[in-house]
Structure 1
Amino acid sequence: MRNTLLVVAGLFGLIIIALGLGVLIPRPLSLTLAADGAPAKEPAVRTVLVLSSQIHTDIAFPADQDVIERFAFMARDGLDPAWPGVGYVVAGWGGRSFFIETPTWADLKPGPVIKALTVDASVMHMSLTGPIDTAHPQVYPLSLDKPAFERLLNAVSASFKRDAEGAASVISGARYGMNDLFYEANGWFNALVGCNVWTGRMLREAGLVTGWWTPLPRLLTASLALHNETAALLQVPGDR
């Protein structure tokens, strides 16, 4: 019994160390510097939001004209980002079974959990919202220059699985309400390299530095705060 407890304690300690190192070790390991030795960047002109729950993160894009045009294909599926009152287009990636079948914790079932802990197909979850309070503790605003914003938009767009004509494939009947849809996505899902790891990868496409492994929302946002004082990205003044 004592040996078993020691093994469990050792495994728990290794997990804690791995999570800590996942935040502390930056990814990428180095920044692209300008000739004067400072991180190369243009003036920040666009703000995106990282939205967090207990286990999941989304990326919220302001519903400006270029964003509306990029996601205009959703209109044919009944969700038009050009609707009046839309403030943000919100994108998230996750495991097909768990994401679709678990809109709330009350809907939690063993099957989707098992798939999330093993291997599952992936989906994109797209939703529309009105204004978002950027001072909310579960909202992390990030200001991007124009090229960085475009790279982020391209990376999220590339996460959709598309047919031979390049059209995104909506999942019929899969939605939480009137303001969201699910689409087939690229990649396979596992909880160890899940939605928050995807969010981190998308943000790195924009030139942001994250922790090396951030499987939980708080680990991702902690790594963003830790590593980006010298990165080519600025947090909105006064929001944190």
Structure 2
Amino acid sequence: MRTGMRWLLRIVVLLVVLAAGGTFIPRPLIAPVKASSEETTHRILLLSGSIHTDIAIPLDEETRAAFSFLHGSGFPLGHPNAEWLVIGWGGRAFYLETPNWAELKPLPVLRALTIDRSVLHVDLAGHITEPQPGIAAFDIDDDQLARLRNFILDSFIRNEGEIAPIPNAGYGEIDRFFEARGYFNALFGCNTWTAAALRSAGLRTGLWNPLPQSLRLSVGVYN
């Protein structure tokens, strides 16, 4: 019994150390050289909840053009009141079957704790008021925004050049789910994907950010 408790304590301590290191060791270790401050800047948002994070990018002409393929899935990219394109990545079972905590089921949780196929969730947002809890904003230049868009575009699975929408999947009338590259598990999940997306835009994150809280803290410290 005591041996089991000691091993459990060691595991807990190890996880705490890894989480702390993942938050406070920056990635990349050396801050990238900032481009000229005179370049056009674009605001992007990190939207975070208790266990999940999304990225919101401005729905300008370049973004509408880059994601124009979404029209074919019935996604209303041209909605006149839309100001933001909101994207998140996550485990297929948990994402699709758990729109809210009241609908939590054992199997999606099990899949999330082991390994699962991944999906992208795409949504629109109108005006977002700042500041508010759960939202962190960053200003990036043209090139950084282009790299972020490309990172997101590369996350879609394509069959002979065509994206793979998931039929009858969504939380509302507007949002859509799509098959995505990569596999999900609790250690390398939605928040580590978000962190990688932010790094593609030239921002710094922690070395390992499996939780929204550690990601918010690390991007706040290093940017």
1:1-240 pair list within 5 angstroms: 1-33=1-33, 39-42=34-37, 43=39, 45-164=41-160, 166-228=161-223
Shift of 1:112: 0.7
User: Which string of whole-angstrom CA distances, capped at 9 and with x for unpartnered residues, describes residues 106-147 of structure 1?
Assistant: 111111111111111000000011111221111111110110
Identity %: 42
Shift of 1:44: 5.5
The secondary structure found in structure 2 opposite 1:61 is strand
Shift of 1:32: 3.3
Shift of 1:41: 4.5
The secondary structure found in structure 2 opposite 1:193 is coil
Instruction: Tell me: CA distance 1:52–1:69, structure 2 relative to 1, closer, same or farther (3 Å).
Output: same
Gaps of 5+ in 2: none
Distance, in Å, in 2 between the alignment partners of 1:126 and 1:32 is 29
Distance, in Å, in 1 between the alignment partners of 2:36 and 2:212 is 26
What is the TM-score normalised by the length of structure 1?
Answer: 0.89
Instruction: Tell me: CA distance 1:114–1:130, structure 2 relative to 1, closer, same or farther (3 Å).
Output: same
Distance, in Å, in 1 between the alignment partners of 2:80 and 2:141 is 26
Aligned residue pairs total 222
Aligned 8 A contact 1:126 1:181 in 2: yes
Distance, in Å, in 2 between the alignment partners of 1:152 and 1:209 is 13
User: Which string of whole-angstrom CA distances, capped at 9 and with x for unpartnered residues, describes residues 77-111 of structure 1?
Assistant: 22221111011110110011110010001111111
Distance, in Å, in 2 between the alignment partners of 1:125 and 1:177 is 12
Distance, in Å, in 1 between the alignment partners of 2:132 and 2:171 is 23
Distance, in Å, in 2 between the alignment partners of 1:40 and 1:46 is 14
Matched letter for residue 151 of structure 1? R
Shift of 1:4: 2.5
Aligned 8 A contact 2:44 2:55 in 1: yes
Distance, in Å, in 2 between the alignment partners of 1:129 and 1:226 is 27
Aligned 8 A contact 2:76 2:174 in 1: no
Aligned 8 A contact 1:41 1:145 in 2: no
